[in-house]
Structure 1
């Protein structure tokens, strides 16, 4: 059985061994993908700008809480967009069913304010692919297949839980018709050093923020101010 965990270095690459682990488990964990200075730069965008107040909204989790989200279709040129375009990023506690990506697409249905996979099928899949809690430290990255069954529980701790999720799609998988998710646009890569070099914390032009009113996959509330 392949090992899905790796530690990031400047020479880290997707070798045949890494690819085999990803194909086998449906995910890999890259420890220390971002250092303290890079995380501080990202945190400054989230805490010192109006990105959440202006573009955020809440999605009911069915348990009396809201998951607070800011969704955009294009990365833009601020620090969070630079992270998405840096060479070391391909795609962050998550719960997963390792290997479940091999089960193919599963029907999803509206639950609370979000969409959830068919619970009866999930319960059957769990018998062959037991639940795993993915514990990550600041700077770690979880890279997983779009078909890997995953979820996250409510944050009952007194601490804030930030998560940046970047999704990538092949050019060949461009949507047939235009809808609320974006069509293909080229992604211009930047060097890894750009995450530290970027000092744009407030200009979010070009990100194309999601309007919850046109998002057909969630039922959103306005974000608590």
Structure 2
């Protein structure tokens, strides 16, 4: 299958942002890197994400339609395999090139959209939340790594290509989940100015996306789970102006890509600073007094 202009393939060598990659990032708000993680790296990552510690720290909120997706969030990358992924040059180093300056680890999370019960996520921008977290500029990005095969049937991520150019849009809480103002969203979708892209990914494929790009996902009605590992980064110069559940700037020590395979730490997760998601009543309930 031919690649789109936003898709690139990692050949296993050191990853550098090419002009084509940066042009797609600038124009579309995202790039897809196929085979970012090899099979061996995915197996090691799964061992951490499926661990007892991660599962014990997972929580979730209803999507308003009777479905629930669990997630586990942590603030520090740590020294385990998932931390090596978040600190690796092909992940963190690539984001640094795309954002044009020093970054730090904002948070990581695993989204557990299980078979037959996985919830939907409303159309939203990450900066729609992070604006309320004291981040003054949209100098932020996320890396979405498929842990399982992601398809339309099991609720893969959907994005509106180029929608980051609209800037931050007002978000409204419905229950505990925030989404774009429905009236504005209706105008956006009816305008037919943004291509809707279904991010159908194989395990190890990754999407790097800008914090202002509109994205959502449907419920999982299939018999196949859809888990994803997502790492969010912030520019060092965009240090939040007040304290929230997400961390303020701290130096991110990057590691070579080889550190993922060589790492044997699957269960020492004490340094990760897990966020107790059950204490958060909504996506905007983040300020710490």
Normalized against structure 2, the TM-score is what?
0.72
Q: Matched residues in 2 for 1:215 and 1:196: separation?
A: 38
Tell me whether 1:171 sits opposite 2:236 in the alignment. yes
Tell me whether 1:97 sits opposite 2:99 in the alignment. no
Question: In terms of mean alpha carbon deviation, does 174-183 or 107-116 score higher?
Answer: 107-116
Q: Matched residues in 2 for 1:218 and 1:64: separation?
A: 21
- 2:188 pairs with one of 120, 125, 130: 125
Listed one character per residue, the Cα deviations across residues 85-122 of structure 1 (whole Å, up to 9, x for unaligned) are 01101333110100000000011111233111112212
Give the number of equivalent residue pairs: 217
Are the aligned partners of 2:9 and 2:34 in contact in 1 as well (CA < 8 Å)?
A: yes
Tell me whether 1:112 sits opposite 2:142 in the alignment. no
Q: CA deviation at 1:46?
A: 2.1
Q: Matched residues in 1 for 2:29 and 2:238: separation?
A: 19
- Cross-structure match for 1:135: 200
Distance verdict in 2 for CA 1:25–1:143, change over 3 Å: same
RMSD of the alignment, in Å? 1.6
Q: Matched residues in 2 for 1:201 and 1:29: separation?
A: 27
Are the aligned partners of 2:30 and 2:209 in contact in 1 as well (CA < 8 Å)?
A: yes
Listed one character per residue, the Cα deviations across residues 19-78 of structure 1 (whole Å, up to 9, x for unaligned) are 11110000000001011100000111122x212332100121111111100001111111
Tell me whether 1:71 sits opposite 2:59 in the alignment. no
Q: CA deviation at 1:12?
A: 3.0
Are the aligned partners of 1:4 and 1:29 in contact in 2 as well (CA < 8 Å)?
A: yes
- 1:146 pairs with one of 186, 200, 211: 211
Are the aligned partners of 1:59 and 1:218 in contact in 2 as well (CA < 8 Å)?
A: no
Are the aligned partners of 1:35 and 1:139 in contact in 2 as well (CA < 8 Å)?
A: yes
- Cross-structure match for 1:24: 27
- Cross-structure match for 1:85: 87
Are the aligned partners of 2:158 and 2:217 in contact in 1 as well (CA < 8 Å)?
A: yes
Structure 1 stretches of 4+ with a deviation exceeding 2 A read none
Tell me whether 1:13 sits opposite 2:76 in the alignment. no
SS in structure 2 of the partner of residue 206 of structure 1: helix
Greater fraction of residues in strand: 2
- Cross-structure match for 1:51: 53
Q: Show structure 2 runs of 5+ residues with no match.
A: 96-142, 145-155
SS in structure 1 of the partner of residue 74 of structure 2: coil
Q: Matched residues in 1 for 2:14 and 2:204: separation?
A: 17
Tell me whether 1:42 sits opposite 2:50 in the alignment. no
Q: Matched residues in 1 for 2:36 and 2:170: separation?
A: 33
Question: In terms of mean alpha carbon deviation, does 62-71 or 130-139 score higher?
Answer: 130-139
